[in-house]
Structure 1
Amino acid sequence: MCRLFALTSRDPVSPMRAIDALNVMKEGHDGSGVGLFLSGLGGPWEELKEYPILSGIFTDAGLARMSEYMTKNGFQSKYSATFKPDAEPPVGTPRRGTYASIAFRIPDEWKGMTKAQVDSNLVQMRLDLRAMGEEKGDIMVFSFWPDTIMIKEVGDPLAIAGYLKLDREELYARHILAQGRQNTNYAINLYACHPFFIEGISTMTNGENTAFVPIREYLMSRGVTGYQGYQSDSEVFTHIAHYATKRLGLDISAYKHVITPMNDDEMRDHPDREFLSDLKRACRKLIIDGPNCVIGCLPDGAMFMVQDRKKLRPGVVGGNPELGIYGFSSEICGLNAAIPERDRTKDFQPMHLDTAIVGPDCREVLQCSQKDPLRLQL
């Protein structure tokens, strides 16, 4: 089983705050790996918000091949944060090479493109580099996007945090997703490690998705760059969030109308019943079968949590609006460890019709129900 912890803060914080929360919940995860999504970056990245950042792990040969590929495509390195451990890796963790996050200046010829074209091209470059690395085993790329860093590794989260020195100031961020478990349903593969990412949207999941195959096939038939290479049944949750918000133009509060639509009785008196009924029919192949708890972050920094109908993977949201920080946690103990200074009576545990959202201003938990009228995008 997985454990999830996410932080959203008005000011950049260390990812160790999320790692420590995972460690408090250690009895609920197997310590086989850790994945981090970081956005709203602080430190040296503050002045580089528009530059796409390539995050991954490279051998020396892989770094050279990646650099050659980027130069060939007209990209110039603007700033890099690289780390090559000199200590022995924790037990069970392979020695891999350099963990790198590199900001690139896009070529001048891209500046006449639409945002949609640029976004699609960035996704395609990530896929190209991934394919190059899978061919020779020298490159792993987890994201290539502005204001975004992703780190993944096999091993106990706390041990990995020490090994990779994750308390470095260059890794401070306002929005952090952290999951404490490698993929154990299939072969160990860092591309199967949560969180997952596409075009500014990242999610992680506690549970299992038994409807994975039809969902994967439907997504792959949409002709969207990036809907491919699935190594985990949970990656589709990220792509459904992308499809719902970027392709269907829905607000994230409508995400659950896609993955867990209401039944006819629940929908009968809804003010948007006709639209929701049409949406349910059109997206029926995206309906999930849990149990699942999904936590995600959107391009604007808004963070959300949803549950499925089975409600067997709990989650809780709470924080302190005065301090400007909120946490999303698999267990109360993780939230207590990360944000002890909060009004616990205001903690919110979403039920099967609910979506919990905290905006980038970190002022409140917005509680949305599928019974509510549909909203415009945030």
Structure 2
Amino acid sequence: MCRLFSLTSRDPVSPMLAINALNVMKEGHDGSGVGLYLHDLGGPFGEMKEAPILSGIFTEAGLKRLSQTAAEIGLDPKYSMTFSPQTPPPPGTPKRGTYLARAYDIPEAWKGLPADELAQEYTRFRLMLRASGEELGDMQVFSFWPDTIMVKEVGDPLTVGQYLGLDNKDLVARRILAQGRQNTNYAINLYACHPFFLQGVCSMTNGENTAFIPIREYLSSRGVDGYSGYQSDSEVFAHILHFTLKRLGLGLEYYKHIITPLTDEELEGHPDRENLIRLKQACRKLIIDGPNCVIGCLPDGAMFMVQDRKKLRPGVVGGKPGIFAFSSEICGLNAAIPDRDPSKDFQPMHLDTAIVRPDCQEVTICNQMQVLPRLH
């Protein structure tokens, strides 16, 4: 199993807080990789919330080609943060080029576009760079989105964090997702490393999804930019969430009803029975098979945790007003927020969605047996 840890905070914090929590849970993961998602940034990036940020790893040739490609489109570099280690990589970590986060002013042609069309332009640019980078081997691109940075690498999370200098005082965020362990179901590939991200929607998973193939085929047939790649069976969790929010126009409360719908027996007598039956039938190809614990973050900064029916992967939520954490183990919570009231920690069961809204005031629980916002 791997281990997951996420933080949602009123004030920006260092990603090393999450990485240290992963390190405390080290007996539960093999130290073979780390993935980070940073959103609602502080520091210099926090002063340019609308500027899309490109995150990835580039060789020297890749950086030159990136500059040329961006200039041709009309993307003007605004601010860059690079992680260029000056020491040999730690054991298990390949020697690479420059780890880059670069914010851009967008071209005139993109200004004034509706939000959904602008999102498509961002996604197409990222996918174009990814495809050409895979062909030429000179760049790996993880995200191109405002107020968002992603870092992925092979190796022990704490060692990699120290190697890359992720304790940089200018690298801070209010929403952080961190996963420890590289993908093990398929070939080692940084694109298979959690978390997974698409247009402001992010998720990571501890477990496996044996329904991956039919879900992948269904999503790939939707004609949505970004429903592609799929180096990991867990990437579909982020795309199902995106599909729920962006294509179906439903709130987070419905996500669980799509991936793990209620049984026919549970639906008997449910106040939303007819609506949920129709939703279950319409989205039957998106039903997952676990065991899985999923942690995710929405574009507005809401963070959540869900479990599937098998409930064979650990997960707990806790914190205090101003900062909360979602963790695979309680020891991770203890390391990051030692002064919380542990009696208020909550471990979601298979019907629950545990949510912390962007104001970071409390954990709210949405249970699948409750009345939900109406379908439109």
TM-score, normalised by the number of residues in structure 2: 0.99
Corresponding residue for 2:269? 269
Q: Which amino acid aligns with 2:143?
A: S
Residue 46 of structure 1, CA deviation: 1.6
Corresponding residue for 1:128? 128
Q: Which amino acid aligns with 1:63?
A: L
Contact 1:211 1:288 in 2 (8 A): yes
Measured in 2, the distance between the counterparts of 1:376 and 1:100 equals 43
How big is each residue's C-alpha offset from its partner over 1:338-362, in whole Å with a ceiling of 9 and x where there is no partner?
Answer: 1111111111100000000000100
How big is each residue's C-alpha offset from its partner over 1:161-194, in whole Å with a ceiling of 9 and x where there is no partner?
Answer: 1100111122210000000000111111000000
Corresponding residue for 2:27? 27
Measured in 1, the distance between the counterparts of 2:46 and 2:56 equals 20
Measured in 2, the distance between the counterparts of 1:169 and 1:50 equals 21
Q: Within 5 Å, give how 1:94-173 maps onto structure 2.
A: 94-173=94-173
Corresponding residue for 1:5? 5
Corresponding residue for 2:181? 181
How big is each residue's C-alpha offset from its partner over 1:78-135, in whole Å with a ceiling of 9 and x where there is no partner?
Answer: 1110121110100011111100000001111211321111001101110000011001
Measured in 1, the distance between the counterparts of 2:232 and 2:285 equals 18
Corresponding residue for 1:44? 44
Contact 1:196 1:202 in 2 (8 A): yes
Residue 38 of structure 1, CA deviation: 0.1
Corresponding residue for 1:82? 82
Measured in 2, the distance between the counterparts of 1:368 and 1:177 equals 21
Measured in 1, the distance between the counterparts of 2:302 and 2:169 equals 23
Measured in 2, the distance between the counterparts of 1:246 and 1:161 equals 33
Secondary structure, counterpart of 1:150 in structure 2: strand
2:235 corresponds to 1:217: no
Secondary structure, counterpart of 2:182 in structure 1: coil
2:332 corresponds to 1:334: yes
Q: Within 5 Å, give how 1:288-303 maps onto structure 2.
A: 288-303=288-303
Q: Which amino acid aligns with 1:341?
A: D
Measured in 2, the distance between the counterparts of 1:12 and 1:333 equals 22
Residue 152 of structure 1, CA deviation: 0.2
Corresponding residue for 2:323? 325
Corresponding residue for 2:233? 233
Secondary structure, counterpart of 1:66 in structure 2: helix
Q: Which amino acid aligns with 2:366?
A: C
Corresponding residue for 1:354? 352
Contact 1:250 1:376 in 2 (8 A): no
Secondary structure, counterpart of 1:231 in structure 2: coil
Q: Which amino acid aligns with 1:227?
A: Y
Measured in 1, the distance between the counterparts of 2:121 and 2:287 equals 29
Q: Which amino acid aligns with 1:365?
A: V
Residue 139 of structure 1, CA deviation: 0.5
Q: Within 5 Å, give how 1:46-85 maps onto structure 2.
A: 46-85=46-85
Residue 376 of structure 1, CA deviation: 6.7
Secondary structure, counterpart of 1:169 in structure 2: coil
**Which stretch has the larger CA shift, 134-143 or 107-116?**
107-116
Contact 1:208 1:290 in 2 (8 A): yes
Measured in 2, the distance between the counterparts of 1:78 and 1:299 equals 23
How big is each residue's C-alpha offset from its partner over 1:259-303, in whole Å with a ceiling of 9 and x where there is no partner?
Answer: 000011111122211111001001101000000000001111110
Residue 312 of structure 1, CA deviation: 0.1
Corresponding residue for 2:196? 196
Measured in 2, the distance between the counterparts of 1:121 and 1:374 equals 34
Query: Unaligned regions of 5+ residues in structure 1, if any?
Result: none
Secondary structure, counterpart of 1:170 in structure 2: coil
Measured in 2, the distance between the counterparts of 1:260 and 1:97 equals 42
Contact 1:251 1:376 in 2 (8 A): no
Q: Which amino acid aligns with 2:323?
A: I
Q: Which amino acid aligns with 2:239?
A: H
In the comparison of the two structures, how many residue pairs are matched? 375
Query: Unaligned regions of 5+ residues in structure 2, if any?
Result: none
Residue 25 of structure 1, CA deviation: 0.4
Measured in 1, the distance between the counterparts of 2:113 and 2:311 equals 44
Measured in 1, the distance between the counterparts of 2:9 and 2:39 equals 11
Measured in 2, the distance between the counterparts of 1:115 and 1:376 equals 25
How big is each residue's C-alpha offset from its partner over 1:34-70, in whole Å with a ceiling of 9 and x where there is no partner?
Answer: 0000001001112100000000000010001111111
Residue 374 of structure 1, CA deviation: 1.1
Corresponding residue for 1:282? 282
TM-score, normalised by the number of residues in structure 1: 0.98
Divergent runs of 4+, >2 A: none
Contact 1:301 1:360 in 2 (8 A): yes
| Aligned residues: CA RMSD | 0.9
Measured in 2, the distance between the counterparts of 1:83 and 1:345 equals 40
Contact 1:56 1:150 in 2 (8 A): yes
Q: Which amino acid aligns with 1:369?
A: N
Q: Which amino acid aligns with 1:12?
A: P
